[in-house]
Amino acid sequence: MRHLLAIEQLSREEIEAILDRSESFAEVGRRDIKKVPTLRGRTVVSLFYESSTRTSSSFELAAKRLSADLVSVKAAGSSVEKGESLKDTVATLSAYDPAAIVIRHPHAGAAQMVAGWTSAAVVNAGDGKHEHPSQALLDVFTLRRRLDSLDGKRIWIVGDVLHSRVARSNLIAFQRMGAQVTVCGPPTLIPREIEALGCEVSHSLDRLGEADVVYALRMQQERMSESFVPSIREYAARFQIGSRRLGPRQLLMHPGPVNRGVELSGEVIDSPQSLIGEQVAAGLVVRMAILYELLAGGERPEPVDDDGVAEHPTPIGQPA
């Protein structure tokens, strides 16, 4: 794996390899010393053109846990605000000879373009409404831990599918791991011809009971002014996942941040069925695994002593 640009480009085996690697980092995370020397002396650039809390912080912490040097660039307050093109920004940052560039951008295909302009490994941390592959991987990781396998499981993705990169990446990832996916929402928020991706489409929650997992998406207030829904109140009445709609054996997921009382009721967020907290925790280890697979693939992580020297430094520099 040279870059992580889209789930679409990963086979089931490649997804499983990242999940297995994530498990070993989860084990590292239970040790006193959570840091491994794998990427010591190498640089990871985090380049975020959109605001982000969990994705940027978990990628940055993942890079630090792997002992990489981290350069974090946010569009606000940077040369981007002065009109520098993406190509020039990437050229500038590439001068630091980074091993990886993690990029979040408001437009589809940005990460792929960056991959053509740099020798660094490129990680797509979200490109427009297109893909968010690390989110899909952490969601599959979270589910696999709970369910052992996604084979034959039914997963409903509910809400604003049209504007959601998470929906697209997860739809592909869940299916690739053997699950059956239904997307559900009002017709205005379901992309035309999405069935071509292999999922079913529902415009009501009537059959939600068949789902093993309910994956709710964030519903943004501005969808009302854009007339995608008549009102948030009506949307919530028809599509909110609340305790009356969620059965006791169904698992609940959400990529965050949640609009409490819109797509999810307060009580289901805090219920034992909710995996939302586990998703966030998984974000760190899965993103460590992604960086590891791209930059050091094939080697096992080892803990380091407090002085930062491992007994057997992990060979680096030869991507698998």
Q: Which residues bind other proteins (CB under 8 A)?
A: 8, 85-87, 105, 107-110, 112-113, 127-131, 164-165, 168, 191-194, 196-197
**Secondary structure (3-state) at 158:** strand
Q: Classify residue 142 by burial, with Cβ atoms within 10 Å: 0-12, 13-18, 19+.
A: buried
Taking the complex as a whole, how short is the minimal distance between the CB of residue 203 and other proteins, in angstroms? Answer: 16
Q: Is the Cβ of residue 49 or residue 59 nearer to other proteins in the bound state?
A: 49
Sign of CA dihedral 75, 81, 83, 84: negative
Q: Is the Cβ of residue 21 or residue 165 nearer to other proteins in the bound state?
A: 165
Taking the complex as a whole, how short is the minimal distance between the CB of residue 113 and other proteins, in angstroms? Answer: 6
Q: Is the Cβ of residue 160 or residue 212 nearer to other proteins in the bound state?
A: 160
Sign of CA dihedral 142, 145, 151, 153: negative
Taking the complex as a whole, how short is the minimal distance between the CB of residue 162 and other proteins, in angstroms? Answer: 8
Token pair of 54 as six digits: 């969990």
Taking the complex as a whole, how short is the minimal distance between the CB of residue 110 and other proteins, in angstroms? Answer: 4
Q: Classify residue 202 by burial, with Cβ atoms within 10 Å: 0-12, 13-18, 19+.
A: middle
Token pair of 10 as six digits: 């990963």
Closest to 275 (Cα-Cα) out of 141, 134, 132, 183: 141
Q: Is the Cβ of residue 9 or residue 259 nearer to other proteins in the bound state?
A: 9
Closest to 125 (Cα-Cα) out of 6, 9, 35, 221: 6
Element (H, E) at 2: none
Q: Is the Cβ of residue 75 or residue 268 nearer to other proteins in the bound state?
A: 75
**Secondary structure (3-state) at 311:** coil
8 Å CB contact between 4 and 294: yes
Q: Is the Cβ of residue 26 or residue 110 nearer to other proteins in the bound state?
A: 110
Q: Is the Cβ of residue 127 or residue 278 nearer to other proteins in the bound state?
A: 127
Distance CA 128, CA 280 (A): 21
Q: Is the Cβ of residue 192 or residue 249 nearer to other proteins in the bound state?
A: 192
Taking the complex as a whole, how short is the minimal distance between the CB of residue 195 and other proteins, in angstroms? Answer: 8
279: left (phi over 0), alpha (psi -120 to 50) or beta: alpha
Taking the complex as a whole, how short is the minimal distance between the CB of residue 120 and other proteins, in angstroms? Answer: 18
Taking the complex as a whole, how short is the minimal distance between the CB of residue 281 and other proteins, in angstroms? Answer: 27
Distance CA 39, CA 295 (A): 8
8 Å CB contact between 213 and 253: yes
Taking the complex as a whole, how short is the minimal distance between the CB of residue 62 and other proteins, in angstroms? Answer: 25
